Every structure is written in C-alpha cells, then in structure tokens.
Structure 1
Amino acid sequence: MAKIYIKDLGEYIPGKFNSMTLDKLKEFVIVPYHIAWYKSSQSKKVFPLFVQEISDLNPTNFVVPGILTRNPFFDHSQIKYFIAYMGDKPAGRIMAFIDYNYNIQHNTETGWFGLFESTDNKEVAFELMDKAAKYLSDNRCKKIIGPAKFNAGGEIGCLVSGYENKPYFMEPYNAPYYKDYFEDMGFAKENDWYSMNTDELLAGRYMEKIERLHSRINGTRRDISTTNGFFIRNVNFKNMKKEIRAIRILYNEIWNSINHPQQPEMTEKEFDILAAGIKAVALEDLIFIVEKENEPVGVSVSIPDINEVISEYDGRGASSGSSFSYNPSRHFFSAKDFKRDFQIYSNIQKRLRQKNFSGVRFLILGIKEPYRKTGLDASLYYRTFRTAKDLGFKHGSGSQLADINTDIINPMFKLGKRSMTWRVYNFTL
C-alpha cells in the first residue's frame, strides 16, 4: 500500500498572511473526484461548478471579474487547507478554520472543520483530522465542530441518513462511512439538520386546509396575498439592491436565535455575494417578502433545483444509476473544466427562461417575532408552495432545518416527509 502523505496546501490569515493560489484551490476542489464511492452506482453525488466552488473557498485577492470572486467570509476568518495523498493520488482533504465573528457573537473559542473527504481508509481520515485539530489547538481553540462550509448559512453537517436520495442544490452529500470515522475519532453529536421532501400529493391536504381557513376568513380560496393587514409580494429584480438589504436585515434578525445553531450574523458583503449567487439561479416568482405597513416582516426564498442540469451533463440524470467518470484538471485555467462550467451554466439559464425544472429547494422561510404562529406563517407557506405548483414544479426539498427548531419542523413535516439527516459533531480540544 502506498504511503500516506498529508500536504499542507496553504493558509490564510486576514491582514497577515496568505499562501493560497488559484491552482492550490483547484487542487483542493477536485479531491472528491478521486473518492471511489462517488463513482459507484450507489452514489447520488452531484459535483458543483468548479468556478463557484473555488469562489466560495477563495480567501485571496486573485479574482477574475465576472467569473471568479473572493469570499468576504475571510475578512474575519483564518483557514488552512490540507490534502492527503497516497503515492501521487489524492486520497482525502480537510479544511480547518476559525470564524472570529462567530466566536465573538457566541462568546466561544471554537474552531471548525469542513469539506472533509476521504477514501475508505481510516488511517487517511484520522491523519487528516489530526492535522486539522492540531492547527486549531495551536491557534487557541478549545472546541472543534463540523463539518461545515462555513456555517449554517452555507452547507452544514455530515450526511448520516438518506444516501439513497438525490441531494437538491446546496445540500451536502458524502460517503456513508464518514459518520463511522467521526464516531471512531471520539466526536459526539452537537445537533442534527433535516431535509423535508414534498410533492403535490404530500402537500395537498395541508394546502387544502389553509385554503378552507382563508375561505372562511376572506371569502376566497385562492387570493391570500393579503391577510390581517399583511401583504405578500414578489421581489423586484430591477430593484435588487433595496430588496437584498431588506432580506439581509430580516435574515439576520430571524435567524439570530437558539433555533438556528451554527448561524452567525452575516455581514453586508457576505450577504451581497450570497444574494448574487442565488439571483443567478433564481426566479422572481419564487422569492417573497411579507410586509406590514411597508415594513418587511417575513421572507421566503426558493430556487429551482439546478442539480438536475448538473446531473444530466455529468451523466447522472433522473433515470441514471450509472457510474461517474469525469476527470478534471488540477490547474485553474483548464479549458476542459471551463467548458463544463460554461455549458452547465448556459443550460441552467436556458431552463430558467423556460421555467423548466421539476424540483425546487425551499431555501429561506421565516417570519419575525411577534408575527409567528399568527396564521401568517401558514399563509407564506401556502403562497410559496402554491406558486411552485403553478409553475409546474413536481417536488421540492425544505432544508436545512435544525432539529431544535420545532417552529419550522412541525409545519414543514405536515407538508412532506424527512428525506435526509445531517449531523454536526463536536470534540473538546
């Protein structure tokens, strides 16, 4: 068996040090393509666009206008990337990072690990985690949690059930043996996150109940854009700067609670980058703001499941159980990999113009206090689900839902059933 070598790929400390390059980021991003389980017929893995993944992980000032951006998360976070090699072949990866904003907001000394990957080899997994834990301990962290990219505002947790289900866009998916590795390392459960999958049949009875309720109150079964002085409207993409500001304020207020663990307040720059990414794959029809006397009090953001397009391009479409064989270049400026990204993105834009998707991900759905549990929640759920149905969507996923957030779990599971569970682990350093 080839010797295991852990490569210190690079590090970034805001305002002090950077050893990362675009080629190093690309080397890190392509590691999952070398994990054998993802190439099997059992896997439902969907690989992201290279440029988008590198932009998410990019702490440097190396940008390509209109193509590659820098993630402002790194304005307040330091990070180190590691790759495991067996001989000359990638065998795993991990990133270790410290979010200083999170630690200040939560009065903690916590470090994180994320984007963990490993071949089915316990020694590789343990050596990677040892590297990450030592880095965080050397930087005065007392606790490590993960996996995450980079918190609950991104992709959170290790998939521990639901491997047979295809992930929707921005839902984590990993090999089934990872959970065993984390438990063998001594990690304990911090909390779980769920996905709720629904379709017309599952959601139908709940939506009929809401229609009957509004019929008694408003004398109509369909027009529920107004209720008790509230107004539910679509966003206007032509006025996105104002709309993004309103959604960011709502997001930080609604999600800044014990019901939303691993969720720090997002900075303006962070939210602008997130919103730009969502807008590129969104429909105005599926984004709503709830207002009372022109004050935003609630928000719903849903996006078409663009994983449908990626899967079709990569040969894992709706009917596929086939293996996966794409082999990317380790260099950032790769014509082959840029071609893949461009063709997938072009197909996404074509499908958006046609409104031709079967799946939708319910990404953000929340109401400010004191308006929760007043019936406004149900009206917003109804408007979101009814619009998705009218647009021709056949199924959807509401995720990621924290296990302690019963305010959203209870109504969402009336609309569907649990499909996936992700676990966040912790370890005392």
Structure 2
Amino acid sequence: MIKVGNRRTRNTFIRLPWSLYKDDPMWVPPLLFERNTHLSPENPYFEHAACCFWIAYRNEKPVGRISAQIDRLYLDRHRDDTGFWGMLEAEDNIETFQILLNTAENWLRGQGMARARGPFSLSINQECGVLVAGFNTPPSIMMGHARPYYRSHIEECGYGKTIDLLAYIIDANFSHSAAMQMIIKRAKSRVQTRTLRKSQFQEDMNIIQSIFNDAWSENWGFVPFTQKEFEHLAKDLKLLIDEKLVSIAEVNGAPAAFMVLIPNINEVIRDFNGRLLPFGWLKLLWRLKVKYPETARIPLMGVLRKYQESPLGAMLAYRVIDDLQEPTVNRGIKKVELSWILEDNIGMRNIIENIGGSVYKTYRIYSKNL
C-alpha cells in the first residue's frame, strides 16, 4: 500500500480504473481534468473534511485504490462518530479489498471514529453508493459504475447494507394521468414557474441551493451544501445547463421548488478516453450543438419542507416536472434518469412511479462498526 502524496501518485490513483474496466463496454472513462479538480485543493469539500488516499500494488502494478474521509459538517449535524470511505476501485480479489478497506478503517479508527460507511466519493452530495443492480447500461453523468464482484467482496469484509439509492428511468414524452392533469390544473392558479435566468445565473443558483438544503434537511445522511461547494458545482455545470431545462416554482412570488435537468454527456464523451485536450472541448461543444444526447439526468430537485406533506407539495413537484417536459422532448431527449432517490423516500418514489418511472439501477451504501 502506498499513500498518495504527490502529483505522480495522484495521477496513478486517478488513472487506475482504466486498467480495471478496459474490457467493460458499459464503463465510461471520466474526464481526467474533472477528476484532478475533484481531488485538488480547489474542491471546497476539503475546507470541512480531512481525507487520505491509498493505492494497493501487486508485483509493482497498481490493482486497487481507496479514500478515507472525515466530514466535520456531517459530525456536527449527526454526532454519531461515523467516518467514510470511497473512491474504491479494485481487481477481483478479496485480499485486495480486505487490505484497502482495512487501511481505510484503521485510519478512521485512529481519528476516533466508531463506524465506517461508504462508498462516498467524496461526500453524499457527490458520487456515492456502489452499483449492485443495473450493470447492463452505462452510468449517467455524475453517477458511478462497478462490476458485480464489488458487492460480494465488500460484504465479505464485514459490511452490511445501510440504505439503497435508486436511479429511475422514464420516457421523456410520458403520458399525463388524469390525476396528474387535475393536480397541474389546480396548481396553475397557485403556482407560477419560470426558467433559469442566465443573466442572473448566480442569484438563481443561490435560490436552488437554499431550496435544496431545506428540502433535503431531514433526509438520511444529509449534509448541506456550503456556499462555496454549490458555487463550485454550478461552475462545473454551467456549460451544460440549458436555462429552458431548469424550472423554479414560486408560491405567492416566493421560490418554493425547483428541478434541474442536464444532458447526459456520458453519451458523447465515451471515445474521449478521459481527455478534453487538445480537441476534446471542440468535439464536446460540437456534439452538444449538432447531436444533442438522447438521454438526460435530473440530479437536483427539491420542494420546501413546509409544503412537502401538503397537497401544495404534490402540486409543486408535478408542476416543475410538467414545466420541463416540452423543452426536454423538443431537445430530442428520449429517456431521463431521476437519481438518486433514497429507497425510503416514498413520497418522491410515488410521484415518479405515477408518471411511469421505474427503477433501473440500484446503488448501495454499506456500514461497519469499528
């Protein structure tokens, strides 16, 4: 095991999945510049978290990697002495998984943690969970991929399921049920919607952050986005965000709900092999302009908590969904992924299933007492 401590070892850490997934047609190589930014001091996550990264070698060849992290915002909120691991990639060998997880656990134990939980790469507001169902399709943008053996090896290392995160798929041109039509009709007198204002991009992103942090605050494992984290995310997504594919709903002129849909660029970057330079940026922009992806993902959605248990909550949710359907179809998008959804978020699951959504991928979070 080698601890990541310089640019050379960080590059090895980032590039390790290429050797593990070279014969997996479903794997999409991540963009190297994005992975480097994710692990660099520029990531505002590190302002409230301590992290360590390791690479496992066999016969001088890198065969696995893992991170361990302690999130002070999480501990301040939940006070349960839980530390996290993530970025897990490894060969199909139980000994490699044991060495990686033991290393992360020992570091967490040394930091005073009583429980290890993962995978989180690096936080709950980023890529998390290990794929345990739905291996026959590529991952959507900002979602993970794994081979089936990850599940069994993690469980052999003493981990048990904590919760599942669900990815739903739905036809973009779904039919409105009679009940949905009635709810939307009633909502139009009480709920106003608008698109994102590119000229006031940061102001609208602040509104979305505020609603998100309120809407998700009682959900399992919640950690709020900091201002810097959300600005960092918005900067990453700005190139991809189409103002017509963002809906903000208002009640009496006050923001109350939102939905953000982004094109699934994994469709168009698979042959980039992780590289945007020297001509990848031009290819990406050209492909987004000439042949828009046929799939998209909704990574961010929220309804203010004060409305969630009321009829107005359903009105707000259905209204933003309805608001985005026409521009989504007009873009040529055929399928939309809604992810991730906590398995115990019955209200949201009912809304998605009522418009024809079905679970097509499952990601699992595991825990183990130290």
2:7: which partner in 1?
A: 22
Q: Quickly say closer, same or farther: Cα 1:427–1:57, change in 2 above 3 A.
A: same
For the Cα contact (< 8 Å) 2:166–2:342, is it kept in 1? yes
Contact 2:190–2:251 (8 Å) recurs in 1:
yes
Specify which of 247, 250, 261 is matched with residue 211 of structure 2. Answer: 250
In the alignment, structure 1 residue 199 sits paired with structure 2 residue 171: yes
Rg (Cα) greater in structure: 1
* Cross-structure match for 2:4: 9
1:257-284 CA deviation, whole Å, 9 max, x = no partner?
13xx232011111110011111122211
Residue from 383, 394, 418 that aligns with 2:323: 383
Q: Which residue of 2 aligns with 1:232?
A: 193
Q: Any idea what SS the aligned residue of 1:113 has?
A: strand
Within the candidate set 4, 17, 25, 1:32 is matched to 17
Corresponding position of 1:420: 361
Give 1:245 deviation, angstroms.
1.3
Q: Give the 3 Å change call, closer, same or farther, for CA 95–109 of structure 1 in structure 2.
A: same
> Over the residues paired in the alignment, what is the CA RMSD in angstroms?
1.9
Match of 1:398 among 329, 338, 352: 338
Contact 1:114 1:146 in 2 (8 A): yes
Cα deviation, 1:202-257, whole Å, max 9, x if unaligned, reads x2254x75346546x5xxxxxxxx72332111011121121121111111111111
Aligned AA (1:303)? I
1:365 to 301, 307, 312: 301
Q: Displacement of 1:290 after TM fit?
A: 1.1
The code of the aligned residue for 2:216 comes to W
Distance 2:367 2:204 in 1: 37
Per the TM alignment, residue 152 of structure 1 is displaced from its structure 2 partner at its CA by 2.4
Distance 1:250 1:354 in 2: 34
SS at match of 1:421: strand
Aligned partner letter, 2:40: N
Aligned to 2:154: 182
Q: Secondary structure at the match of 1:126?
A: helix
- Looking at structure 2, the residues matched to 342 and 257 of structure 1 have their Cα atoms a distance apart, in angstroms, of 45
Name the structure 1 match of 2:124.
Answer: 152
Distance 1:290 1:212, change over 3 A: closer
Contact kept in structure 2, 1:210 and 1:379, CA below 8 Å:
no
Q: 2:31 aligns with which of 49, 52, 64?
A: 49
Aligned length, in residue pairs:
365
Q: 2:250 aligns with which of 291, 297, 314?
A: 291
**1:273 corresponds to 2:209:** no
More moved, 43-52 vs 175-184: 43-52
Q: Which runs of 5+ in 2 are unaligned?
A: none
| Superposition TM-score, scaled by structure 1 size | 0.81
CA positional deviation for 1:23: 3.2
Distance across 1 between alignment mates of 2:291 and 2:22: 31
Question: Which amino acid is the alignment partner of residue 289 of structure 1?
Answer: I
TM-score of the two chains, using structure 2 as the length reference = 0.93
**Deviation (angstroms), 1:104:** 0.5
The partner residue of 2:55 within 67, 70, 83 is 83
SS of the residue corresponding to residue 98 of structure 1 reads strand
Percent of paired sites with the same residue: 26
- CA contact under 8 A between 1:77 and 1:98: conserved in structure 2? yes
- Name the SS of the counterpart of 2:279 in structure 1: helix
CA distance in 2, matches of 1:239, 1:352: 23
The residue type equivalent to 1:297 in the other structure is: A
